[in-house]
Structure 1
Amino acid sequence: MRNWLLPEYIEDVLPAEAARIETLRRTLLDLFKVHGYQYVIPPMLEYMESLITGVGHDLDLATFKVVDQLTGRLMGVRADMTPQAARIDAHLLNHQGITRLCYAGSVLRTKPDGLAQTREPLQLGAELYGHAGVASDIEIQRLLIRALQAIGIDQLHMDFSHVNIFGSLIEASQVASQLEQELYAALQSKDQSSVAALSQHLDKTTREALLHLTELNGDKSILTKAEKVLPNTAAIKEALASLSQVSTALEGLDVTVSFDLSELRGYHYHSGIVFAAYAQGYKGPLALGGRYDEVGQAFGRARSATGFSLDLRGVVTALQPAKPNMAIFAPANDDASLSVKIDSLRADGQIVIQELSGFESNLDELNCDRKLVHYNSGWHVVAIDK
């Protein structure tokens, strides 16, 4: 066995890429901060009940499980930080008003997914608790757009849906759980023939509405069409009105918007608007988000909630390859004025690498393109001739 080999879909991040990821992480957290989002650091391990509460079977399958040697209880390595943030809001902070939280950290998943196809994504996210209106959905969506633009991603595209459209149809027709799951799967694949076959024993209104959902995808005009072909119920009218408000609110942000009313990602987890962000050069979504008002209930307090998360390691995959941060080389010298000069350069954010006595440094390996040279009674930075 080669002891240096890592498990499949687990990989090291080397210096240049690690430096860029950390710079972008800091950029995003600073952006979240000025928008009022407070940074939290949830634990890597929790009891399984907390980690998967309210988020369905998929997250259970994605979670690595271990036995706590102190209590004998089953614990999990977090696969998603969103439930942890909901727990902190509902149980620890216990604010009565609006709470804005953000987080950044590694998560571990049993199978690779996302843009980077890794089992160890670096998840960043922002969550807003305590507001049930579409205004908080719009705030979160605008923050996501600004975050991706701050990273350097342009030509953004946002795709929206609303899980209550499908949910209200299912509830009104009292569809059995097994049939609900089968219809959900058929709609996700836009398999109209399967939807037709599965809904043949439902009432005509529901059956026709489900068939229409497979075709209701495109620009804002789809919402107008949906108003004409879907049942005129309060839940559906409210869902379509919310989507229309979102479309209007995002105008002028240099982003295109589309709607896909059969997209039900996280249907058993989300409770309202859901969305995904895309951009040219990426094969899948850069970020996912939506409303999830019921998750906090398991932690003692149901709170209205909306948010998004992204895998920073995945997002940087389509950026230009990272270039190393270039450094200044300083000779091994005990001159006090050299130490003062080095400290001054480092205080300004410059990387200065001082040679160790008795060792000849390879300046290319150190990524040094400048050096400190003593002349005119002082130390000066000069370019290194290649």
Structure 2
Amino acid sequence: MPIAETWLLPDGVADVLPEQAQVIETLRRKALDFLARRGYQLVYTPFIEYIESLSSISDSNQDLDLATFKIIDQLSGRLLGVRADMTPQVARIDAHVHPVEGIARYCYAGTVLHTKPQGFNTNRAPLQLGAELFGSSCIDADVELVDLMLSLLEHAGFADGIHLDLGHVGLFRSLVKHANLDKDAEQHLSDLYQRKALPELAAYTHDLPCGADFNALGRYASDLNALRQNLSPQVWADDEFAMAFNALATTSAEIQKRWPNLHIGIDVVELRSYHYHTGLTYAVYAPHRAAPLAQGGRYDGIGKHFGRARPATGFSCDLYALCAGQFEPVSVVVAPKGSQQDLLEAIAQLRAEGRNVIQLLGQDDVDSVAYATHRLQHINGQWAVEQI
């Protein structure tokens, strides 16, 4: 095979060149420092693990399982998985590696790998950054994570025109349980809700147990007041349903207090991560972007796989997607060859000030540094930087 074909990258995988890599790395450092100041401790997780560890969520989430590359470990012969999401790994740390009493807060940033592009994202190797909170099932924890997500995006420069979507999978889940539906009916309803197929929903729910309530759930999915008025008393008597509804309404009100100018949308049948999450779900969108800037939700019981079930909530984002289309010219100062003390001191001073300085080698001149923007020159007995 010609070499020109062997070095081509697979679909969905790309190099990141200096002008954009600098933007991404600056945002990564800025975001992790911000999360640290909010009490979230940084952890690093391995790129590969035994598949049993990564399946702490994917046991009930076929989408995550299908997104995970699987390989055979040449040392043990066991099946390994390349992480497609870092949340199961952080859950393993919380439950098994670093168990703490009470609430634990962690943050992370690292590359994950997907077998196929996910959603609107064509990149199969996102740079995932996120935060997770373990050990609290109260609404305050959900409010903290939503507020943290919004604050992080604001800190990263995404304040204007953003939109927050809130949902709660507990509404649909408790209604399915209340109506005693089988898995096929549950899956079909989930599909209808995700496609927003209201005429099909009305026809399908006509003879379904609690059919009018399932129809109302889809028809009034974005209006909690209208939904409240159109659901049957039997549904409101269900404690799980009422608890989920009140949690969604309370969270929305609390976030609106903290972010009075934020537009908040409600969608109680947003079920894209139905098998992943167990409660509140949230996502932030920006104008002219189809994919969310960041998204997350509650996933209680996450540590059960490792012998320590814990309530948990968290969010993540793709730094590559956040920085899409952003470039920062690299400023490089070229210094002449030499070892005289004043020259070395001038170079050291510039680097201490945060400037990028390259000293020429051998017989090279400034033209040998293709990306040079400035040069260090000796003028009137002093070293000075001049733009090229």
Is TM > 0.5 for Structure 1 vs Structure 2? yes
For the residues of structure 1 that align with 2:365 and 2:193, how far apart are their CA atoms? 65
For the residues of structure 2 that align with 1:166 and 1:87, how far apart are their CA atoms? 28
Q: Secondary structure at the match of 1:280?
A: coil
TM-score by length of 1: 0.93
The equivalent position to 1:209 in structure 2, one of 213, 216, 237, is 213
Q: Secondary structure at the match of 1:33?
A: helix
Q: What's 2:193 paired with?
A: 187
The equivalent position to 2:88 in structure 1, one of 70, 73, 83, is 83
Q: Secondary structure at the match of 2:20?
A: helix
Q: What's 1:48 paired with?
A: 51
For the residues of structure 2 that align with 1:326 and 1:116, how far apart are their CA atoms? 31
Q: Secondary structure at the match of 2:323?
A: helix
Q: Can you list the C-alpha shifts for 1:5-46, whole angstroms capped at 9, x where unaligned?
A: 111111111111111101101111001100000111110001
The equivalent position to 1:14 in structure 2, one of 14, 17, 31, is 17
Q: Secondary structure at the match of 1:119?
A: coil
Q: What's 1:113 paired with?
A: 118
The equivalent position to 1:238 in structure 2, one of 238, 243, 251, is 243
Q: Secondary structure at the match of 1:362?
A: helix
For the residues of structure 2 that align with 1:129 and 1:268, how far apart are their CA atoms? 19
Q: What's 1:345 paired with?
A: 350
Q: Secondary structure at the match of 1:366?
A: coil
For the residues of structure 2 that align with 1:100 and 1:241, how far apart are their CA atoms? 25
| Deviation, structure 1 residue 145 | 0.7
The equivalent position to 1:138 in structure 2, one of 126, 143, 146, is 143
- After TM superposition, the structure 1 = structure 2 runs for residues 185-334 of structure 1, keeping only pairs within 5 Å, are 185-203=191-209, 206-218=210-222, 222-230=223-231, 231-232=235-236, 233-251=238-256, 252-253=258-259, 254-317=261-324, 319=325, 321-334=326-339
| Residue identity opposite 1:69 in structure 2 | Q
Aligned residue pairs, count: 376
Maintained 8 Å contact 1:115/1:315: no
Greater alpha carbon shift after TM alignment, 7-16 vs 192-201: 192-201
For the residues of structure 2 that align with 1:272 and 1:363, how far apart are their CA atoms? 59
TM-score by length of 2: 0.93
Q: What's 1:379 paired with?
A: 383
For the residues of structure 2 that align with 1:212 and 1:362, how far apart are their CA atoms? 70
User: Taking structure 1 as reference, are residues 113 and 269 closer, same or farther at Cα in structure 2, changes over 3 Å only?
Assistant: closer
Greater alpha carbon shift after TM alignment, 230-239 vs 272-281: 230-239
5+ residue gaps in structure 1?
Answer: none
For the residues of structure 2 that align with 1:343 and 1:240, how far apart are their CA atoms? 61
For the residues of structure 2 that align with 1:304 and 1:78, how far apart are their CA atoms? 22
Q: Secondary structure at the match of 1:144?
A: helix
Q: What's 1:33 paired with?
A: 36
| Residue identity opposite 1:194 in structure 2 | E
Any runs of at least 4 consecutive aligned residues in structure 1 with deviations exceeding 3 A, and if so which? 196-201
| Residue identity opposite 1:322 in structure 2 | F
